[in-house]
A and B are shown apart, each in its own frame.
Chain A
Amino acid sequence: MSDTGTNYGEIVKNGLWEQNVVFAQMLALCPLMAVTTSGTNGLGMGLATTAVLVCANVLVSLIRQVVSAQVRIPVFIVLIATLVTIVDMAMNAWLHELYKVLGLFIALIVVNCAILGRSESFAVKNGVAASAVDGLAMGLGFTGALVLLGLVREFLGSGTLFAQASQLLGPAFSFLEVKIPGYGGALLMILPPGAFAALGFLLAGKRLIDRRLAEREAARAAVAAA
């Protein structure tokens, strides 16, 4: 497929909504459940994953003609592992507070199914530019899901929003931090069962929106036909 014929709008739409890593593909649930105890953690994890995803897609797309099909998986894994190590060290150096929270899960980005999945299903078949856009869109879709679930759990579980955001984004963003007065929070939402319940409700919400959109589309088609 030549890059000139690539529909970038479609790629972005797939990454953010139609084929969203979490809400449509149901991939990468392990880091999703583990780090989304707050919106800030979700954001940090999402951005780290996005960085790895974009680089991995670009590199895989560059070497796709050279690597034979038989050894592609080990090669991709080595590439991804290298990138994850770089991100891991970078976060340890410059975002140390967040690194202490995310810790192990940064290293585990390497086994995130979403990244190998995109290499296998997209980057290996498409050009560099398209792969980069796909990595970015998928990564941002994943980040969005992480932040949304993180915010829901944080709000219900500890009564705050974006706690410690200024440590991740700098003091300029301290206005994001909200504390609901007089609410201690339901501890269950911070624990894994709360994550599953919240994710279930978010999935139901996404399906509802999709169904409404399809109904509207069908109604419009019926009007156009009549």
Chain B
Amino acid sequence: MNTAALTAQPVASPHAHGGNSVTRTMFRVQMALVPATLYGFWLFGWPAFFLWLLTILSCLGFEALSLKLMGVTRIKRTLFDGSALLTGWLLAMTLPPWAPWWVAVLGGFIAIVIGKQVFGGVGQNVFNPAMVARVALLVSFPLPLTQWVSPLPMSAGATPDFVASLRIFLTSLPVPDAMTSATLLGHAKTELARGIDLGQALGAGPALSLIGMRAGSFGESAALLILCGGLYLLITRVITWHAPLAVLAGVAIPAAIAHGVDPGRFLSVEAHLLSGALVLGAFFIATDYVTSPNTASGQIVFGLGIGFLTWVIRSFGGYPEGMAFAVLLMNALTPVIDRFVKPRVLGRDRKGKPLDIPENT
């Protein structure tokens, strides 16, 4: 997405400005995230809210700092185009809800400075900034990044109040064991390592994750609300169906085959589709304009690659969830995809030869 092209004023009569802008696109994506985020606040309480807020503030802060260092004159305009805010928001959606404050600050630094601004700012980055930060944090700090708190709805008695939540957020003490719980994918991986059949290990996991009453990040717990947000983006034409559907298919097809062959070893299609960051990734990450291919068929290749790699990492890798790794790998392949999947040039066939049109006589 090129800011200059989108904000250029039409110079002569046959052009009409559609009113679209970076800010409007970013705003719509944020609107689509609101329901799942609010649900996350209700589910995980004040610590989750603090984490969300600080991640976004950290992203905005580092964006402003980078712009200042780069000598950009209109800092405010670029800062509030919503792209840094959205990066922070998406990053917060993938973090454990009770992660300590420094995770948020460091995540903002990695996402904005290393993931985005060193490449030249909005529209220039090779990798999705939120996923860069997510992977860097996970690799660097395996312990705080894999402590998933059990959902404690705000209405329940045991929920920490405002002050206690602030203490949880700021002291970065480990969450008491009684409050933690494994995610579905993590649980499946541990039980498999212990040699226990998946059929026994998982009870009502997949059905529960649809309404989100289970451990996981914001984006993981409320798959259904994320899906609603994704459909809103489809209807408002912020995204097209190619990449999301390809991601879901890329996971579902190998999962269905493998589960059909050996249900004790491989998770079912529903478990794959409804857990982890899959829905969030399919609708909000894989559709990132900057880091995905430009053509519709390219996006299908890109999405299938993400889905398949996610399934491979989940099924055979060392980490229980592989969405972020898969996205980064396919981001790296995006220029290659764009090189081989090109739109047909007008007046030429797919191979670039001029169409054989009879001369008008």
Binding site for B on A (CB under 8 A): 184, 186-189, 191, 193, 197, 200
Contacts and interface: CB of A to CB of B under 8 A. Distances in A.
Among B106, B136, B140, B142, chain A packs the most CB atoms within 10 A around the CB of B140
A188 B118 contact: no
B114 A187 contact: no
Contacts of A193: 136
16 contacts: A184-B141, A186-B106, A186-B140, A186-B141, A187-B139, A187-B140, A187-B141, A187-B142, A188-B136, A188-B139, A188-B140, A189-B140, A191-B139, A193-B136, A197-B114, A200-B118
A193 B118 CA distance: 15
A188 B114 CA distance: 13
Nearest to A156: B140
A152 B136 CA distance: 17
B112 to A, nearest CB: 14
A189 B106 CA distance: 13
A160 to B, nearest CB: 16
A200 B115 CA distance: 13
A193 B110 CA distance: 12
Contacts of A200: 118
B5 to A, nearest CB: 28
A169 to B, nearest CB: 30
Please classify the interface of chain A as helix (H, G, I), strand (E, B), loop, or mixed, using the class held by over half of its residues.
Answer: helix
Contacts of A186: 106, 140-141
Interface string B122-143: 0000000000000010011110
B356 to A, nearest CB: 51
A187 B141 CA distance: 7
A159 to B, nearest CB: 12
Decide if the interface of chain B is mainly helix, strand, loop or mixed.
Answer: helix
Interface in B103-124: 106, 114, 118
Interface of B: 106, 114, 118, 136, 139-142
A67 to B, nearest CB: 44
Given A187-B140, A188-B139, A191-B139, 8 more contacts: A184-B141, A187-B141, A187-B142, A188-B136, A188-B140, A189-B140, A193-B136, A197-B114
A212 to B, nearest CB: 14
Contacts of B106: 186
A188 B135 CA distance: 10
A188 B142 CA distance: 10
A190 to B, nearest CB: 9
Nearest to B142: A187
A191 B136 CA distance: 11
Nearest to B136: A188
A193 B106 CA distance: 16
Contacts of B118: 200
Contacts of B114: 197
A139 to B, nearest CB: 30
A197 B115 CA distance: 10
A40 B114 CA distance: 27
A167 B140 CA distance: 28
Nearest to B118: A200
B271 to A, nearest CB: 29
Contacts of B139: 187-188, 191
B319 to A, nearest CB: 13
B323 to A, nearest CB: 18
Closest 10 CB pairs of A and B: A186-B140, A188-B140, A188-B139, A187-B140, A188-B136, A197-B114, A187-B139, A186-B141, A200-B118, A191-B139
A186 B135 CA distance: 12
A190 B30 CA distance: 36
A209 to B, nearest CB: 15
Contacts of B142: 187
A200 B118 CA distance: 9
A214 to B, nearest CB: 16
A151 B136 CA distance: 20
Nearest to B114: A197
A189 B139 CA distance: 10
A189 B136 CA distance: 9
A33 to B, nearest CB: 16
Contacts of A184: 141
A27 B139 CA distance: 28
Contacts of B140: 186-189
Nearest to A157: B140
B121 to A, nearest CB: 15
A184 B144 CA distance: 12
B86 to A, nearest CB: 23
A22 B89 CA distance: 38
- Most B CB within 10 A of own CB, among A184, A188, A197: A188
Nearest to B144: A184
Contacts of A189: 140
A62 to B, nearest CB: 46
Nearest to A191: B139
A160 B20 CA distance: 51
Residue from B114, B139, B141 whose CB has the most chain A CB atoms within 10 Å? B139
A184 B172 CA distance: 13
A203 B22 CA distance: 32
A195 to B, nearest CB: 13
B100 to A, nearest CB: 13
